[in-house]
Amino acid sequence: MKHYLALTKPRITWLILVSTGVGYFAGQNGPVAWLVLLHTMIGTALLASGTAALNQWYEREADARMRRTAWRPIPAGNLPAANAFWFGVALSVAGFVELGLGANWLTAGLGLFTLLSYLCLYTPLKSVSPISTTVGAVPGAMPPLIGYAAASGVLTNEAWVLYAILFLWQFPHFYAIAWMYREDYERGGIRMLPVVEPDGDSTVRQMLAFSILLVPVSLLPTWLSMAGPWYFAGALLCGLAFAGACVRMIKDRSLLRARGVLLASVIYLPVIYGLLVLDRT
């Protein structure tokens, strides 16, 4: 069972659920419908886990060539590829039904769009072009929309602001990972930007540009009366610190600086989410 659990990528699923929960609390009006929230979280977890399993089934040959992924259940020989495929299908179907019946069909539709765009667009593009990072950021930012739709049944400007924050955040985060593992990605035939342009100029410029753009976008929840002044101050400070980590990488493209950006990104998101929930107006 531990190999099936590994297919679901629990750490990534946890982050997806946090983003979904924040979207739900942002979208709910009045008392929290805890049962709907429970169904939303279970359905999202199932759908995210199924997507992760199907992605590993699709990328099993590339995973076998990369050191950072060779231990995964399929390339390591711990699970047959067919088992992983049907396990992923079962989880995905169960997640879609759970979201539809437990929340609403808009939520289920958003979940299905996330799965299809991730598996049918982002995953195949990874071996073709670095544009895959941009394409992958579209489904990657969907969890807050799923949570918001589950709570309110509609998608408003507030929902799209949450989407924009997560969308922009992904670029410095994933480019830092891509820079750290660029040689491994090259072995796997993954056409990430640092692989295609090994000097790193485009990579660090995009990291900095998206981190700077994230600062004003992250302040919009206060402008839309979603959060108060404590959120505004915290989001501003966190955004400047995140951008500062990217500035340091402009000057020094070392592994240490890339890890610094990655660390800043994994601190940034939970802090922003916590402030948004605690200072909700």
pLDDT recorded at residue 250: 87
Q: What is the mean pLDDT of residues 129-139?
A: 95
Percent of the chain with pLDDT over 90: 93
Q: What is the pLDDT of residues 56-78, one digit of tens each?
A: 999 999 999 998 899 999 999 99
pLDDT of 281 above 80: no
- Cα–Cα distance measured from residue 189 to residue 207, given in angstroms and rounded to the nearest whole number: 22
- Cα–Cα distance measured from residue 48 to residue 16, given in angstroms and rounded to the nearest whole number: 8
Q: What is the mean pLDDT of residues 21-36?
A: 92
Work out the pLDDT band at 242, boundaries 50, 70, 90.
very high
pLDDT recorded at residue 32: 85
pLDDT of 218 above 80: yes
* CA distances from residue 222 to 90, 112, 156, 162, 265 in whole angstroms, order as listed: 41, 31, 15, 12, 21
pLDDT recorded at residue 123: 95
Locate the domains of the chain by residue range. 1-155, 157-281
| Sign for the pseudo-dihedral over CA of 140, 143, 146, 148 | negative
Beta bridge partners of 280: 227
Asked whether the beta carbons of 72 and 23 are under 8 A apart, the reply is no
Place of tokens 């976008």: 217
Q: What is the mean pLDDT of residues 123-144?
A: 95
Q: CATH classification of 1-155 is 3.60.20.10, yes or no?
A: no
Place of tokens 């295609």: 196
DSSP conformation class of 119: I
Tally of CB atoms within 10 A around 4: 16
What mean pLDDT is reported for the chain? 95
Q: What is the mean pLDDT of residues 215-234?
A: 95
Phi-psi region of 146 (alpha: psi -120 to 50; beta: other; left: phi over 0): alpha
pLDDT recorded at residue 37: 96
